[in-house]
Amino acid sequence: MKKTLALLLALVMMLSLAACGGDPETKDEFKVGAIYINSKSDTAGYTFAHHNGITTAMKSLGMDTDKQLVIVDNVPEDKQAVLDAVDTLVSNGADIIFGISFGYIDALEEASKEYTDVIFSHGTGYKANETNFNNYFGRIYQARYLAGIAAGLKSLETGNNNVGYVAAHTTDYAETASGINGFALGVQAVNPNAKIYVKNLNNWADEINEKAYAEELINSFGCGVISQHCDSAQPQIAAQNGKVFGCGYNSDMTADAPKAHLTAAIWNWNVYYATAIKAAQACEGDASKFVEKMGGNAYYGGLKEGFVDVSPLTENCAKGTKEAIEAVKKLMVDGEWDVFTGVKLNISVDAEGKVSVTKTNAALESNGLQYKDGNFKAPMENTVVVEAGGASVDDGVIKGSMNYLVKGVEEV
């Protein structure tokens, strides 16, 4: 019934356009649909970053966001709720639909089979097909490492080795585990004595506990820098209220906590959205060509593509932070080094602010877990700890199966 209704509505729209001399395949008639987990009116955080990315991309392509963008927001990670949102967007003529939350994955997979004439693109997921359904994510662990450098240098400056991290999840998802590990390794590159305390929300978005957990990390664990993998700026606000410092996520959170914020690991989602919209338009109405036009069904960009980065550093940062971050960023962009490549960076800043970066081979130790025969297992004789980025820590592990936390990280 849903598909029949959508087809009838589409026919009515086409007849109406024909009567006016319009062409439903022209660029001006192309419509973008989006499903958001939070409000499109958010001024910081996850949904804000995606919404800003979509609107920025559309404007760069000469599209009218008032007429060509249709949004259903505040959609929970409930399959029926997502399917209802899809129906709404299809009935409003969406040619491509972006679903930005991990928990939308099953609903979008089902919808892609029902609405084969519509393109579906799922953020942070892993499911896809070979025609009208892809997924997209990026090497945010690279940006988290850079933010970790800022946090580590600040911990040295303040003499406080305790760093806090409010996490949506921990080892349940490779996305969160790799982010925590990337940040921790960045902190440890400048402050090997640092300890990272992680509080697990077990929820992608929970503003009340995002703030409460940050406060607990400050008050109960003495954390002097608060980082995060959660949707709102509440951990940064808690950091400012607690007179400590912080590294945000998703978007620049300096305006939310100007006295605390150092920098944030951020997404330039417009890089992907512009690529996807152009590919969808190039399909000329044939949704089945989308994956081919994208060059595959999974997008995974990083610093090199400008897809991830850190926000402008604030005056709260320690001396040498800018120089240290620029030096490491260049290594990653040039392809000379990456976070999980079996080589540890040692970063130091002298009294004049001069930065030194050296490399050493190092093992990526987990909390009691080791890697053997393609699986993580309890320690046993003759097993070896996974090397940072060794043969086992490839993109598949970073994106899909990383389920450990590096040495120096403690979940509390």
Using 70 as the pLDDT threshold, list the residues of the chain that sit under it. Answer: 1-27, 361-392
- Whether 133 is covered by a domain: the verdict is no
Please check whether residues 222 and 87 belong to one and the same domain: no
Please check whether residues 80 and 225 belong to one and the same domain: no
Please check whether residues 219 and 337 belong to one and the same domain: yes
Residue that terminates a domain, selected from 252, 277, 301: 301
pLDDT score, position 381: 39
pLDDT score, position 2: 45
For the chain, the average pLDDT equals 88
pLDDT score, position 349: 92
Please check whether residues 284 and 393 belong to one and the same domain: no
Please check whether residues 118 and 169 belong to one and the same domain: no
- Whether 327 is covered by a domain: the verdict is yes
Give Cβ neighbours of residue 41 (< 8 Å, ≥ 6 apart): none
Please check whether residues 203 and 258 belong to one and the same domain: yes
Please check whether residues 289 and 241 belong to one and the same domain: no
Give the CA distances from residue 172 to residues 43, 55, 183, 377, 404, in Å, rounded to whole numbers and listed in that order: 29, 32, 17, 16, 9
- Encoding tokens for residue 122? 């799922």
For the stretch 40-98, pLDDT in tens is 999 998 999 999 999 999 999 999 999 999 999 999 999 999 999 999 999 999 999 99
Which CATH number characterizes residue 14's domain? 3.40.50.2300
- Whether 120 is covered by a domain: the verdict is yes
Please check whether residues 280 and 376 belong to one and the same domain: no
pTM for this entry: 0.84
User: Residue 336 gets which letter from DSSP?
Assistant: S
Please check whether residues 88 and 225 belong to one and the same domain: no
Which residues, in sequence order, are bridge partners of residue 392? none
- Whether 200 is covered by a domain: the verdict is yes
- Whether 154 is covered by a domain: the verdict is yes
Please check whether residues 343 and 245 belong to one and the same domain: yes
Q: What is the dihedral of CA 386, 392, 393, 396, to 10 degrees?
A: -150
Distance CA 267, CA 138 (A): 8
Q: b/e string for 74-86 if b means 16 or more Cβ within 10 A?
A: ebebeeebbbebb
Q: Considering the chain, what percentage of its residues have pLDDT values greater than 90?
A: 75
Q: Burial, 94: exposed, middle or buried (Cβ in 10 Å; 0-12, 13-18, 19+)?
A: buried
Domain interval for residue 216: 144-265+314-411
Distance CA 66, CA 119 (A): 21
Residue 261 and residue 248 in contact, taking contact as beta carbons nearer than 8 Å: yes
Domain total in the chain: 2
pLDDT score, position 26: 56
What is the pairing mode between strands 162-167 and 225-229? parallel
Distance CA 141, CA 126 (A): 17
Alpha helices in 61-97, H assignment, sequence order? 65-68, 79-91
- Whether 275 is covered by a domain: the verdict is yes
Please check whether residues 15 and 82 belong to one and the same domain: yes
How many Å from the N-terminal Cα to the C-terminal Cα in the chain?
Answer: 49
Please check whether residues 99 and 244 belong to one and the same domain: no
